[in-house]
Amino acid sequence: MVQDIAINGDNAVALAWKQIDPDVCAAYPITPQTIIVEKFAEYVANGEVSTEFVCVESEHSALTLCTASASAGARTFTATASQGLAYMWEMLPITAAMRVPLIMAVANRAVSGPININNDHGDCMSARDCGWIQLFSENVQEAYDMSIVAPRIAEHVDVQLPVMVNLDGFVLTHAVERMTMVDTHVIKEFVGEHKPLYPLLDVKHPVSHGNMDGPDFYYPHKYQSVLAMNKALEVAQDVFDEFAKISGRQYKLVEEYLCDDAEIVAVILGSSFGTMKAAIDEMREAGIKVGAIMPRVFRPWPVADLAKCMKGKKAVVVFDKHLSIGAYGPMFPEVVAAASDLEKLPKMYNVIYGLGGADATVAGFKKAIEDVKSEKAEKVTYLGVKA
């Protein structure tokens, strides 16, 4: 029986993982991820999961332990945020290069400094070149659903890459929303038995993991990851389609909202997609033809689907919750690149918003888009900043 419950984002992630019942979880506490590990520890304490749960002494060790555990053949997950992800950074590309399909929830939070515990995308965006698949969630339901689809994508025989499930810190991690569960036995069947490739603990067939590459092999190995990442696009959509059958919720590589007849399209990630939809509803009432898209999958970058949504539009406004100081928001150049093969390039704008938990409001989004509509907008707008 499907069941509706009231739950916050962190607990929803923990619940998904309880239902999956992974082999190993190693994690270290950091706000706003902490509830995930606290809740999971409770499941462990009450024997509700059979997971080997390891409370490590740092995030560096968390991801290291999980990488080794996944290499050993165990289905493994962890969770972190902000400084924790930064502390893991050395291991991020190693995990991906070792092609281990582990899952990590990231409770997106600003990166120090100045130290700040609130939400933005500084953590996951700074990890974007590390070879991980990145999924984004708009609400608690999606954080739960993405946690369930993630292992299917990661463990696909042609993918074998780690997956980050992003959920906005506090906005989703601590907000209680209504959510529809999927039955545990249905999830177990959907996720299936873990069938690791070349598991290290198969002592009868010893393998070496994490060898050193010279130039003859380093580059080809990176290229193999490119091929796997490309394949992951197709796999992700297949898994989304299959998930729709068990949940009734259909996800797409790029989620659209009123794009078909739109003249202006906003591109935005995570919980702000919801805020943007509200802004669009109000602007539509005022007769402004505007729509929005959210890349559900940020890595691999769904170029073709993005281009389709931007085709024939007058302007595209990319909302970034992070900033590459001295250039643009991290998503902006990528959206421009995705649009670059269109016959007629829309006018491209970048809006930086919400850094360190700064308010992301309907009014702010409307103002930014209306400025584009009236051709008053700068190339890059620092929305709502008080200089």
Interacting residues toward other proteins by CB under 8 A: 23-24, 26, 50-52, 54-58, 60-61, 64-74, 76, 90-91, 94, 98, 200-203, 206-214, 217
Cα distances (angstroms) measured from residue 360 to each of 113, 300, 356, 378: 21, 26, 11, 19
Residue number, 91 or 140, with CB nearest to other proteins: 91
Report the nearest approach of other proteins to the CB of residue 11 (Å): 23
Alpha carbons 91 and 58: distance in angstroms, whole number:
12
Report the nearest approach of other proteins to the CB of residue 167 (Å): 25
Residue number, 212 or 387, with CB nearest to other proteins: 212
Residue number, 28 or 190, with CB nearest to other proteins: 28
Residue number, 102 or 179, with CB nearest to other proteins: 102
Report the nearest approach of other proteins to the CB of residue 128 (Å): 20
- Do residues 118 and 356 make contact, with C-beta atoms less than 8 angstroms apart? yes
CA angle 44, 50, 51 (to 5 degrees): 70
Report the nearest approach of other proteins to the CB of residue 111 (Å): 21
- Do residues 380 and 336 make contact, with C-beta atoms less than 8 angstroms apart? no
Residue number, 64 or 118, with CB nearest to other proteins: 64
Report the nearest approach of other proteins to the CB of residue 50 (Å): 7
Pick from 281, 267, 287, 279: nearest CA to 362: 279
Report the nearest approach of other proteins to the CB of residue 58 (Å): 6
Q: CA 343, 346, 347, 352 torsion: positive or negative?
A: negative
Burial 244-266 (b: 16+ CB within 10 A, else e): eeebeeebbbbbbbbbeebebbb
- Do residues 24 and 54 make contact, with C-beta atoms less than 8 angstroms apart? yes
Token pair in block for residue 234 = 């197709």
Pick from 92, 148, 78: nearest CA to 123: 92
Residue number, 66 or 323, with CB nearest to other proteins: 66
Report the nearest approach of other proteins to the CB of residue 342 (Å): 42
Report the nearest approach of other proteins to the CB of residue 76 (Å): 8
Alpha carbons 150 and 137: distance in angstroms, whole number:
12
Residue number, 206 or 287, with CB nearest to other proteins: 206
Q: CA 132, 191, 51, 143 torsion: positive or negative?
A: positive
Residue number, 56 or 307, with CB nearest to other proteins: 56
CA angle 21, 22, 28 (to 5 degrees): 110
